[in-house]
Structure 1
């Protein structure tokens, strides 16, 4: 995924295994020579406005994403493990999705430091670890969003068959398979990314074995197919079938479930379609189909902005997949009520307890009236 790691690890071109730089095709937000050169056209492009913009805006953005992503996903993990006690396939997928997002979130402090200092100061081992961890988090998060859509499809559309396969055991097995696939497709980053010195600047960049951008183009297409095209196809099929099935239902949760379906699909399209379009255009540039200076300047800026947009998705997953669920909100309210009681134990405890019990009883009535749709969606 050449484009998505451009901001994370800051690079322009890449080196082949002999140490010679290929003509740059993607520009870093900070750690690069403020431009690039087309040998076949004898054109040099000045891109000083991009690092100036990135060095002031992106550190602030990624610091905010780190805090919100860490709090939101950690809260999901805490509720699922400590309070809810993972018992269902949906819980297993939700837990793994939060872990996937945390993998990405933990790479953000390195991104912030890199954006400010313009130097990779963490060593070659951390260069490989952070780059591969980022890719593993990206792919696993996308895969778990996809399989959660399949899980919802089975629960609502194929409810009879779902009774046999929607078990915790199958959830654990399929999660292990997803992690294995995510690690496998991210393995090239562990191998290619290395710490290197360029013009007295230490960078963490990929060293590809070819000099014609073949591996970079393959990496972009891999993201386009595995990280967007296939998941979008599955999401559209599953949620189209779910919506058709919901139209036949006459439950109070019907419209809430339909709204959630639209939110899931729209958010995925909104945050991941722009970066995939830009990555596809970057592949055209790698193949020299796009080779003019002005388009390349705009494409590099588009890479910066669409990557930043896609990073926000890791903070929205807890809101979309956890906090809107009836069961999860119930456990979350009970957790806050429990700790509120503990904090107010020296105050008017009995009055607070009476009010809490009233709310708790009404909550039980409401949850008992919720349908199977609320527990799944």
Structure 2
């Protein structure tokens, strides 16, 4: 009887060991990577750099997603949901918050790198930790404001399931989901423009040996940003608008971003591991001493 219950109770195929394994792997990678990243950023940096501020918030966003994954692992491994609609709603909102906040913070890091490299003198009054914290606070506020109508809409959807399921196979859509693809495509465009301008500026201002190293790093970071937007963020943002698509594979892809984000810090390994007492270089010296595409951690 127990075997029959597992195969007949969840009409939405909640018993999915493959998804349990996938989310378990994401949890096993994402938790230590982001915990170590957050610890290193807080220990080795004074958070006077805008990039460091955005990276700390990005790591926090990823950790909030990671702590919600154990229940997804349990749900897909057993096919049952014992915690009720409130916890299901909370875990779902944590996932949506991560997608939105991560996209914003990655874009802010790209814009900060653009200002530091292309407009180092004119942007000094803008590139402050105070402004970075204000921008981060605005992102979190926006995410929380979106949560209110979205969680209410999702609660009504969960009531129709009578507490028997949590993460549906078919997409749950709210009116806000129609705005998300526009935001994601817009932020992808901003990242591409920022990376192109930074690469062009470095190729003009650096000598030949430094130019090769920095352009390689810039293209690696650009490739990583491109991967996260095109593979992690965009498919789910567009997929939820379809009535027939199964969203679980897209949710798996989107969750992988918490494992990729730490690579943004490790590509700037020297700046990431070394504590810097003086964040910004003065005036013209800043133009001469650019050593890394992640300017602002140095």
Shared fold by TM > 0.5?
yes
Q: 1:98 to 1:216 in 2, by over 3 A?
A: same
More strand by share: 1
Residue of structure 2 in register with 1:203 after alignment: 165
| Number of the residue aligned with 1:250 | 206
2:264 to 315, 320, 343: 320
RMSD: 2.9
Do residues 69 (structure 1) and 69 (structure 2) align?
no
Shift of 1:67: 2.0
Higher relative contact order (CA 8 A, sep 6+): 2
Alignment partner, residue 11 of structure 2: 33
Matched, 1:93 2:43: no
Q: Describe the shift of the 1:128–1:67 C-alpha distance in structure 2 as closer, same or farther (beyond 3 A).
A: same
Over 3 Å counting, the alpha-carbon distance change for 1:281 and 1:59 in structure 2 is closer
Partner of 1:222: 179
User: Aligned partners of 2:9, 2:59: CA distance in 1, in Å?
Assistant: 31
Query: What is the distance in 2 between the residues matched to 1:130 and 1:192?
Result: 15
* Higher mean C-alpha displacement, 318-327 vs 272-281: 272-281
SS at structure 2 position matched to 1:270: helix
Select which of 290, 294, 298 maps to 1:372: 290
User: 1:152 and 1:253, CA in 2 relative to 1: closer, same or farther beyond 3 A?
Assistant: same
- The answer to whether 1:233 aligns with 2:233 is no
1:263 alignment counterpart: 220
Write the deviation string for residues 213-236 of structure 1: whole angstroms up to 9, x where unpaired.
Answer: 9x826344222122x211111101
Size of the aligned set, in residue pairs, is 270
Alpha-carbon deviations, 1:299-334, whole Å to 9, x = none?
32xx33333222212111112234533211335xxx
Equivalent of 2:76, from 110, 115, 124? 115
> Which protein is bigger by CA-based radius of gyration?
1
CA contact (8 A) 1:253 1:371 kept: no
Q: Which runs of 5+ in 2 are unaligned?
A: 1-7, 276-287
Deviations 1:226-272 (A, max 9, x none): 2x211111101111111111120224443333223322332333343
Q: Displacement of 1:107 after TM fit?
A: 1.4
Q: Would you say the 8 A contact 2:84–2:163 is kept in 1?
A: no
Structure 1 CA distance, aligned partners of 2:213 and 2:148? 41
Partner SS for 1:185? helix
- The DSSP-based 3-state class of the residue aligned with 2:165 is strand
Task: Tell me how far 1:124 sits from its aligned partner.
Answer: 2.7
Provide TM-score, normalisation by structure 1: 0.64
